[in-house]
Amino acid sequence: MGDDMKEHVAHGPSYRDYVAVFAGLAVLTAATVALSYSGLAEGLRHFLAFTIATAKAVLVGMIFMHLRFDRRLIVACAVTPVVLAILFILAIAPDIGKAP
């Protein structure tokens, strides 16, 4: 077991993990900006932009916020409001497109 792996086991993510996640976030941010200047159809652009945003949020949550290494109760505290938030947005979806 290498030093970095020992560090990983003892303390959760290693510094190297954090830098790798940061690199991923930077690339995904650049991809989102590039996407906004592309000639893709609006619906597809929006879908891809929010898919990328979700991937970035999952990376931050799993590694930076340690959810990948945390107890189930903590994971439940993180996931439950997200599910409720999605349900909330879906609940008002029938009104989408109607003028207030």
Partner 1 sequence: MSTPAAHRLRPIGVTGLDNRKLGMWIFLASEVMLFAGFIGSFVNLRAANLVTMTEAAGLLNRPLGAVNTFVLITSSLTMAMAVGAMHRGNRAWVKLFLLLTIVLGCGFLGIKGVEYSEKFAHHYTPHTNLFFSFYFIMTGLHALHVFVGVVLMTVLLASVAANSARTDEVVVENVGLYWHFVDVVWIFLFPLLYLT
Q: Can you spell out the DSSP letters for 45-77?
A: HHHHHHHHHHHHHHHIIIIIS-TTTS-HHHHHH
Cβ proximity to partner 1, 41 vs 92, nearer residue: 92
Report the distance separating Cα 69 and Cα 34, nearest Å.
33
Residues in touch with partner 1 (CB under 8 A): 7, 10-15, 18-19, 21-22, 25-26, 29, 32-33, 35-36, 45-46, 49-50, 52-53, 56-57, 60-61, 63-66, 69-71, 73-74, 77-78, 80-82, 84-85, 88-89, 92-93, 95-100
> How far apart are CB 65 and partner 1 at their closest, in Å?
5
| 8 A C-beta contact, residue 32 and residue 74 | no
How much of the chain is helix, strand and coil, in % rounded to 5?
75, 0, 25
> How far apart are CB 39 and partner 1 at their closest, in Å?
14
> How far apart are CB 70 and partner 1 at their closest, in Å?
8
